[in-house]
Every structure is written in structure tokens, then in C-alpha cells.
Chains A and B, each alone.
Chain A
Amino acid sequence: MEMMKKIFFFVGLALFLYACEEEGPFINFEEDQETLVDTTYISTTPIAAVNKNVLFEEFSGVRCSNCPLGNAVTNDLYATLGDRFVPVTVHSDFLALPYGNDQDLRNADANELAASLGPVGIKPSTFINRKIIGGIRLQQAPATWEGLVDDELALASFVDMNLEIVSADEAERTVRYRITLSYNADAPSHNMGFYLTESEIIAEQLDGSVKDSNYEHEFVLRKSITPVIGTSVGTDISANTVIIKEFEIDIDDYDSDEIWVMNHMYIVAFIRLDNDDIETATMVEIIP
């Protein structure tokens, strides 16, 4: 009898452990964007050192009463810092259910980002180059954001990113863009990711205790063209390497209802390290 108890205990434990299903890391089962140009060469002249830019992924929601305060800080930082500051407003599910017939600013990529590096249970909040600063990745106090961004901007980056629009066809809603990566130092393993964002979206927003039906939402994440962690660029890239890649996307592939306004859209590019930190980022308007 004692023996039987022991056997049942182990079999039960084994079944219990086996039944523990897990979600696992993010694996992209969609086709990657097609690379039209892929060139790598070693620069004959040393590539100059550069500092990091900041990818500023602010979590917001139309039903978040304090989020306009966060949006205001973000807009001020963009106005002050210009190209060094790459804002992305992320409407993950929390407090982001649209009012009435407004368009839904939420999307699967926003939720993926929040779930994979969150949880995001407080808004407004932000990732600053997705770094863990002071033991936390999600920075929650807008008053501290400027100082943290300044600290990040003072750090060196091993790569400079130059993102250009090669061509944009408004009728066909296609965009061809080129990214140039110039490495000034040996680089650890890293990924490159691309977002589509849109500004000047009018949708009702709770602001304090008031609903503002004409609220203008800026830099809203519409689609992550790559997985939110990007796709691998390489593992052994040495100093003075230059990589040039060109891609083309059809916006209708992501927005079949043609709601997104191409004139208000940006492409964001970023370099992500294996520890989830963003090395640097850049952004370009699709139609300047």
C-alpha cells in the first residue's frame, strides 16, 4: 500500500508538471518584409562615434484620464530634441477601449509589446530605450522622463542609423525605404525593428474628468512591420561596417479599410540588443 502511494504521488506530480502549459517567447510566424537591397561593405575611412537616440514608447489610452499629461510631455520632448527623440504612442488594451464609433487605436503589436516587456498596468508610462532604469523598465512619472531621456542621449552608440524614404506612392499606398547602418565599433548580437506610426488622429480622449472629442493623438503605433523585438541583423559585425537595406511595404496589407492617412505617417527604425535594450532609433515621415 505504501509503495502504491509513492507511485501515485510521482505519477500525479509528473502529470501536474506536464500539464503546465506555457505561452513561450514571441516567434513571428508571418512573412518577413522582403529585402529589395542588401549591401554590406567596410568603410575605408573610420566611422565617427555617435550618441544614442531615444526610442520613447509611451503607453497611453483614450480612457486614461492622466494620459494627456503624458502626451504633453512627449510632445514637448519631441519639439525640443527633434531627431534625437523617437516617440511612439502605444495603445495597448488597458484603458484604451475606443469611445462610440471612434477608430480603435489598439492593435496586437501594442499588446505584444506591453505583454512581453510589461505588464503595463499603469498609464501614462513609458519605456525609454526599453532599458531597466532604477530596477524598473516601465517609467511611470512623467516629471522624471526628461531627465532620464537626457541621460540616455549622453551615451555612445555603436551604430548610426539613417532612414530615408526612397519612394512613396500615395495612390498605391506603397512605400519604399532605405536604412543605412554605420558601425563605429564592434557590435554584439542585435536585431533591427520597424514600426509604422501615425499622427493627427482625432479620437475622443478622457482628459481629467472631461472627454475631449477633438483630441489629436500623435505618433500612434499602427503596426510593427517586424516583430516588436525586430529581426536579426547579425552577430559578428565589426567596426566600420556599413549595411544598407531597402524594403517596400504596401500599407493596405496592414490597413485594408484604408483608414490610416499616409500623409500623417512615419516609419520608425530601431536596433535592439539581446537583453531587450534599444541601442538607438530613428524616424522618418513617409511624405514630408
Chain B
Amino acid sequence: MKKLFTIAIFLIATWPTVFAQGYISGDLELRNDYYVKDSTIGASGTNHYDDLKSSADSWLSLNYTNDDWGFRTGVRLDMFLNSRFHNPNDDAYTDFGVGRWFIEKDFQKLTLTGGHFYDQFGSGITFRAFENRFLGIDNAIFGVRAKYEFNDNWFAKAFVGVRKNRLSFYKPIIKGINAEGYIPLGDKVSLTPGAAIVNRTIDEESMSTIANVINSYELADRFVPKYNTYLFSLYNRLNVGNFTWFIEGAFKTREAINDPLNRSVVDPLFVVYADKPGNIVYTSLTYSKKGFGITGQFKRTDNFQFRTSPEDNETLINGALNFIPPTNRQNSLRLPARYQPASQEIEETAFSLDGTFTPKKGITFNFSFSEIHRNTIDLETYAADNLFREIYFDNEWKISKKVKTLLGIQFVQYNQEFYEGPANLPTDVQVFSPFIELTYKIDRKKSIRFEGQYQSAQRDFGQWLYALVEFNVAPKFSLSVSDMWNFKPGPNKSSKNEHYYSVYTSYTEGPHRFFISYVRQVEGIVCTGGICRLEPAFNGVRAGLNTSF
């Protein structure tokens, strides 16, 4: 009691001093969904449409920073009320509490962090803790981290902790150490090398479940799974004049992995854990100068699955501990973004070439070519074995100060069965998508934007037309109306020629942005940075608020 009293007196006495030197910041993101059943597009059959009718998700962060003290702390309140955010096909999820808290202090060259933190080693291949609310991902690590800066060019950091699982934690323990440096070798040449080691130890309960599963296999399929998995990576970025070359290679020790394509040696219909080591190589080479840039990327992944555990509940976006960068172009326009491949952790050989060329001010050409294969490439059946191929071309043309256009075309070949399963989906969806975007500036503040897109995907949804008209009064007001019309559905789709329209408006006042929309949305894969999830059809109203202070 005496101690508590002393601490209270100390806090009261120092409180004004503390806050006089630091500052408080924060943000709030609030999203409400209201569900209107629409069985014609598949927006039905879950308790959201049948009974609950609404859901709310919110994140409120409050941070305190004191630069004089080298001290930072923060807390975030997460609230999921009848949420369908993490798993849209599942029943409603309700929970709320502290989604993140941390304290961080600099001690000269040493920085210590405790609580939830986000971080990554290299390109994220061996370890990445990150948040992507749009995909329902919050991969924070809860633990302690130390970072030491040897000098201006070299640092090392290490951590130990457990991975966050919504508002609780996965039990396996993650440890990692990473060192990175910068070596200047003249005016135009430099190296940025790094190395990382990560270890994951599976907990007894998870291992007991894994061992039970393995003991249920035929004798020939059984193996002793490892509690510990180690990942090692070396990476380097070389800058020589206009060239930048990044390469990262990583190796992972043997462990039980959950490969849905790995079949029993006794019964090929039966999926079993595989006991395999993994490796990955990712590299990119960029040449860039004024008006011209070109980037080539290559990636080969072999059994590089790294999750909290290989158990079935830790697949897709659940339990991931690393991030395998995508090589294909990340599209944002509605129809061209419909067929996006998720980065594969079991097997993938991918390469791409992206370029941009600006022959004169106001005119820019962009092109992209990418392919993704399995690791065994047979030259005789090369084209047919493709998992994904994209050829993309667009032209941005600023015709005048008032008029800007974007005109482009995209061709995609997509193995839907491989990326989306189940086994009766087509393996070669051919997608053709021309598009146009026009922006007309009415005056300094007002503008009107039009998007027009067509897509042909004969083995999937058939033919689409998409149009959007958006009116903006910068920086406060935006109103858009759009329709995505499946005017000629494919033979495998039972739906009629449905319209998927939406009306969206937002109002911004300083750092506060309010929005409300009516959305009728077709089911599809939503991807960000190579991480994808299936977003089921939606029909209803979305409203929300984003603010920061």
C-alpha cells in the first residue's frame, strides 16, 4: 500500500512535466455494415443476413511520444461486434478489448520495446509482423524486442514473443535476430546487406494434436515432427548508378507442413502432412532514369510454409509468420483487379517485367508481363501448365490542364482451380479487360471522373461491363455511382445478368472523414500485396468514420 501511494504521488507530481515534453496522437477507424438479404447473388445463408442484420468494427489508437526522453507508448482498443471481418463465411464474431499496447524506450543506441509490435526482416520472407485491416490481418507479435545501432550504418535487432490471434495469442513461441548494414562504395555504388535467423517452437498442445494426426496415418506416411523450425536468410541491395539489384535467399529446416497437394504414399486420395525443409529465392533488378524505368523480378518458392503450426485452423491468412512478396502487378481498377494470384508458400516459380516510359511530359506508358508456374516446368507443355499469366498495357495522357485520360488493356490466364479450389473449377480462365478512365477538372476544386471497363472471362463469370461516375469537391466531398453488370454470364454460372451497383459518398472535415455507401458486391478474391482471401457476395449499406488527431 505504501509503495502504491509513493508511485501515485510520483505520477501526480511528474504528470504535468511528462505531458509538457511529449505529445499525444491517435486515430479512430469505425466501420458499420448493414446486411440486406439477396439470395440471387449469394448474399444470404449466414446469420448476418438471416438474423443479426448489422455488424460493427472499430479500432481506436492512442499514442504518447516524448522525443526528449526517447519514450513512446500506445494502446489500441479493438472492437468487433457481430463482425464478419476476419472470416466472412463464418458466423458472427464478437469480442473487444486491448488489441495492441506497447512501451518503447531509447537508451542511447539501444531501443527496447515491450508489448505488441510490428516488424519485418529483409523483404519479410523469414519474418513479418504486420497489420492489414482490409484483409482482416493483424499479425502483431506480443513480446519484447531490442534494437541496437552500432553506428549510423549498422544495426542489429532481436525479439522473442508469440503471435497475436485476434484478441488472444497463438501458443508457439517465435524468436528472431536480424542484422543489417549500409556500405557505401563510392558516389554511386552502395551495398545494403543483411542476415536473419528466426526460430519457432511449437507448444506441447499443438504438437500433441499434430502427433495424433500423424499417428493416424499409414505407417509409411508417419514421421517424427519437429518442435523447432529455423529459418536463415541472407539478403543484399546493390545500388550502382541507375541500377538497383535486390536478392534474398532463405532456407528453412525440416518440419511438418500442411501441403494440400501432398498425398499419402499408400492412398493417393488422402492428404497427409509433409515432412520437408524449404527454401526460397527472390530477386529484383531495376533500372531507372528520368522518363524511363524497368523492373524484372524472379521468385522460386519451395515448401517455404512458415506458420505458427501446420494445423488446419492455421491456413490461409491465419497463423502466418512471414510474407512472400508477389511478383505480379498489383492492379487497383475494379475489373482488372478481379483475377489476382496469392503468393504460394508450397511451390511457385514466378517472374515479371514491369516498365514505365514517359516520352514527354504528360504522356506515360506502363506495361507489365508476369508468369507463375509450378516448380517443375515442362517446355513442351509450358503454355498449358501456366498457373497465371498477365499482359498489361496502359497509357496515361494529360491532354490539357483540365483533361486526363487512362487507356489500357489487360490479358490474364488464370488457373482458378489452383488458386481458389475446389477441384471442379476451370484451370484456364482466359480474361480480357480493356478499360478507360477520364478525369475532367471543372475548376480548381471540382472534378468529375469516369471509369469504363469491359471484361470477358468466358470460363468463369462471362462478360462484364463496369462504369463509374465520381464527382469530387476537393478536399471535402466525394460522390460516386457505379454499376458492374454481368450482362452475359458464363455457362458455369447460374446467376442471371445481374447488376452490382453501388452509391458512395464521403465528407471530409480536416482529419475526419465520414462515408456511407450502398453496395451490391459480387463474390471474388480480394488481394493486397499477394495476400488474398475470398470475399463473399455482399448486399447492404456500409458507413464509417476515419479520423486522426
Contacts and interface: CB of A to CB of B under 8 A. Distances in A.
Contact of A10 (B179, B210, B228): B179
Interface stretch (B92-100, B101-109, B216-224, B450-458): B216-224
Contacts of B205: 274-275
A22 B212 contact: no
Contact of B215 (A7, A14, A227): A227
A10 B211 CA distance: 32
Interface residues of A, number: 27
A17 B199 contact: yes
Contact of A27 (B197, B211, B227): B211
B219 A27 contact: no
Contacts of B232: 14
A10 B197 contact: yes
Interface in A8-25: 10, 13-14, 17-18, 20, 22, 24-25
A24 B199 contact: no
A17 B212 contact: no
Nearest to B156: A6
Interface string A221-245: 0000001010110000000000000
A189 B177 contact: no
Given A6-B179, A10-B197, A22-B227, A28 B222 contact: yes
Contacts of A257: none
A248 interface: no
A92 to B, nearest CB: 20
A41 interface: no
A229 B215 contact: yes
Contacts of B207: 25
B210 A25 contact: yes
A191 B212 contact: yes
A254 interface: no
Interface size class of B (residues with CB under 8 A): 20 to 34
Given A17-B197, A17-B199, A18-B253, A24 B216 contact: no
A31 B219 contact: yes
B209 interface: yes
A251 to B, nearest CB: 22
A179 B207 CA distance: 28
Contacts of B219: 29-31
A232 B216 CA distance: 6
Contact of A24 (B197, B209, B227, B230): B227
Contacts, number: 68
A276 interface: yes
Given A10-B197, A13-B177, A13-B197, A229 B227 contact: no
A275 B208 contact: yes
Interface string A165-181: 00000000000000000
B179 A25 contact: no
Given A27-B211, A29-B222, A231-B216, A22 B228 contact: yes
Given A17-B199, A24-B225, A25-B225, A232 B212 contact: yes
B195 A10 contact: yes
Contact of B208 (A13, A14, A31, A274): A274
A229 B195 CA distance: 41
Contacts of B189: none
Interface string B186-208: 00000000010101000001011
A276 B209 CA distance: 10
B253 A27 contact: no
Contacts of B7: none
5 nearest interchain CB pairs? A25-B211, A24-B224, A232-B216, A10-B195, A27-B224
16 contacts: A3-B181, A10-B197, A13-B177, A17-B197, A20-B228, A22-B228, A24-B224, A24-B227, A25-B211, A29-B222, A227-B215, A232-B212, A274-B205, A274-B209, A274-B212, A275-B205
Given A229-B211, A274-B209, 9 more contacts: A13-B177, A14-B197, A25-B227, A26-B215, A27-B223, A27-B225, A229-B208, A232-B213, A274-B205
